[in-house]
Amino acid sequence: MHTKRISGPGEVPPLAGFTVGVTAARRADELAALLERRGAAVLRAPVLRIVPLSDDAELLATTKRLLDDGPDVVVATTAIGFRGWIEAADGWGLGEALLRRLGEAELLARGPKVRGAVRAAGLTEAWSPASESMAEVLERLLEEGVEGRCVAVQLHGEPLPGFSETLRAAGATVVGVPVYRWMPPEDLAPVDRLLDAVFARALDAVSFTSAPAAASLLERAERRGRLGELLDAFRGDVLAACVGPVTALPLQAHDVPTRQPERFRLGPLVQLIASELPGRVRPLPVAGHRVEIRGHAAVVDGVLRPVPPAGMALLRCLARRPGWVVGRAELLRALPGAGRDEHAVETAMARLRSALGAPKLVQTVVKRGYRLSLDPHADDKYGTADA
């Protein structure tokens, strides 16, 4: 019998059948759109909200302090943060005075986007690292010598591990400029829905774009008394995808394995997820077909087949031991909320077979249970043999 191979790239989007959680507050629409364009279902739950700059008394107080006692060095870390600071100062009637102070200081810009924001403000940076690395900025400052100097560091909601501490140890006065501070969301219901989906393994991945977001999700799980469940999920079935190593720190402190792209941007983060999730799926040769079991769907011979939740629970249970008979009692335990009625297994199985479009994928073994009809000698043909 001729068996069709899975379609080439483009027919089944890489994230079709997978569900990804988005924890971002800022640029959440952009991130969700990038994921959906690759076929993912997206569950959005901003775990933080940003304090509006015009209402931020701490930023205003810090700005006035720097106007009264000008800094020797200013480190601009993000373009949106630097622009936001200037715009907020304009709103307070302090814009021109702030630009004068910044023009008098040694202005360091971390990367080309920040450099563009600095120049758009009519300023000129003294230096910018090619690597966009804060480590390189720190190295330059230490080489110059910072003892007795005031260094203002424009923050962006995320910690800069060791940066300020190292400068202070070298004798500098460090002033953090708290652009875009984070607060817990006013409505926690979406966050709880996301957590419940992680606990139930209804999410395949959760994306994080800031360290405070990761810390906030961990804190919410702990407040609910379910931090251990969250950590177990991230250590097992649910991918924790972080935009960069700083974002990953709160998770790694709990021994959660994380994945980060080489370039710390949204696009590479989405590309990482689109590569990582399909890569976790082992294709199975079943009854002359090639089957991939994804989060809420199966791909059968290159065709995406959405599967109801009950059917998905049975399919996953069968796939843990492909080719082996799984008894009705075990399948019943895998069904969410099925109780003790074994008829629920038959009903869910009928719907599963219908959803897969190939009823012979699951074989009934009379008086014993069901099995995935694994083709034991098809590994080489499908490219699934162990190396």
Handedness of CA 15, 16, 22, 28 (dihedral sign): positive
Assign residue 357 a region: left if phi > 0, alpha if psi is -120 to 50, beta otherwise?
Answer: left
CA atoms within 13 A on the CB side of 268: 10
Q: Are residues 40 and 139 in the same domain?
A: no
Give the mean model confidence (pLDDT) for residues 3-28.
Answer: 75
Is the confidence at residue 210, as pLDDT, over 90?
no
- Domain assignment present for residue 268? The answer is yes
Q: Are residues 30 and 143 in the same domain?
A: no
What was the pLDDT predicted at 385?
Answer: 38
What CATH number is given to the structural domain containing 64? 3.40.50.10090
User: For 131-135, 245-249, 330-334, 336-340, which range has the lowest pLDDT when averaged over its residues?
Assistant: 336-340
- Domain assignment present for residue 227? The answer is yes
- Domain assignment present for residue 192? The answer is yes
Render the burial of 336-349: b for 16+ CB within 10 Å, e for the rest. Answer: eebeeeeebbeebb
Is the confidence at residue 157, as pLDDT, over 70?
no
Q: Are residues 150 and 62 in the same domain?
A: yes
Give the mean model confidence (pLDDT) for residues 260-269.
Answer: 89
Q: Are residues 40 and 149 in the same domain?
A: no
What was the pLDDT predicted at 158?
Answer: 56
Which domain-ending residue is among 137, 154, 175?
A: 175
Handedness of CA 231, 237, 241, 245 (dihedral sign): positive
Is the confidence at residue 15, as pLDDT, over 50?
yes
d(CA 68, CA 64): 6
Q: Are residues 139 and 195 in the same domain?
A: no
Helix pair angle (227-235, 189-199), 10° resolution: 50
What was the pLDDT predicted at 69?
Answer: 93
What was the pLDDT predicted at 367?
Answer: 85
- Domain assignment present for residue 11? The answer is no
User: For 52-56, 260-264, 270-274, 300-304, which range has the lowest pLDDT when averaged over its residues?
Assistant: 52-56
Tens digits of per-residue pLDDT, 36-75?
Answer: 999 999 999 999 987 767 778 889 999 999 999 999 999 9
What was the pLDDT predicted at 93?
Answer: 95
The stretches of the chain forming alpha helices (DSSP H) are: 28-37, 57-68, 79-91, 95-104, 112-120, 134-144, 163-169, 189-199, 211-223, 227-235, 245-252, 266-279, 309-319, 328-334, 343-356, 379-382
Which domain-ending residue is among 122, 154, 175?
A: 175
User: What confidence category does residue 384 fall into, taking pLDDT thresholds of 50, 70 and 90?
Assistant: very low
Return the higher-pLDDT residue of 387 and 231.
Answer: 231
The number of folded domains in the chain is: 3
Is the confidence at residue 382, as pLDDT, over 60?
no
What was the pLDDT predicted at 5?
Answer: 36
Host domain of residue 365: 284-382
Q: Are residues 268 and 349 in the same domain?
A: no
CA atoms within 13 A on the CB side of 375: 22
- Domain assignment present for residue 65? The answer is yes
CA atoms within 13 A on the CB side of 338: 24
What was the pLDDT predicted at 2?
Answer: 33
- Domain assignment present for residue 13? The answer is no
Nearest to 247 by CA among 156, 183, 168: 156
Q: Are strands 49-50 and 284-286 parallel, antiparallel or unpaired?
A: unpaired
User: For 105-109, 167-171, 362-366, 374-378, which range has the lowest pLDDT when averaged over its residues?
Assistant: 374-378
Which domain-ending residue is among 279, 307, 326?
A: 279
pTM greater than 0.85: no
Q: Are residues 162 and 61 in the same domain?
A: yes
Would you list the DSSP string of 193-237? HHHHHHHTT--SEEEESSHHHHHHHHHHHHHTT-HHHHHHHHHTT
Mean pLDDT across the chain, nearest whole number?
Answer: 88
Tens digits of per-residue pLDDT, 268-287?
Answer: 999 999 999 999 988 899 98
Q: Are residues 45 and 190 in the same domain?
A: yes
What was the pLDDT predicted at 43?
Answer: 97
What was the pLDDT predicted at 339?
Answer: 62
What was the pLDDT predicted at 383?
Answer: 43
What was the pLDDT predicted at 138?
Answer: 94
Q: Are residues 190 and 265 in the same domain?
A: yes
- Domain assignment present for residue 12? The answer is no
- Domain assignment present for residue 69? The answer is yes
- Please answer whether residues 6 and 29 qualify as being in contact, where contact means their C-beta atoms are separated by less than 8 angstroms: no
Q: Are residues 271 and 299 in the same domain?
A: no
218's tokens = 């961990």
| 134-143, 190-199, 322-331: range with highest mean pLDDT | 190-199
365-to-243, 311, 314, 357 alpha-carbon distances in Å: 48, 18, 15, 20
Supply φ then ψ for residue 41, to 5 degrees.
-85, 140
Render the burial of 74-94: b for 16+ CB within 10 Å, e for the rest. Answer: bbbbbbebbbbbbebbeeeeb
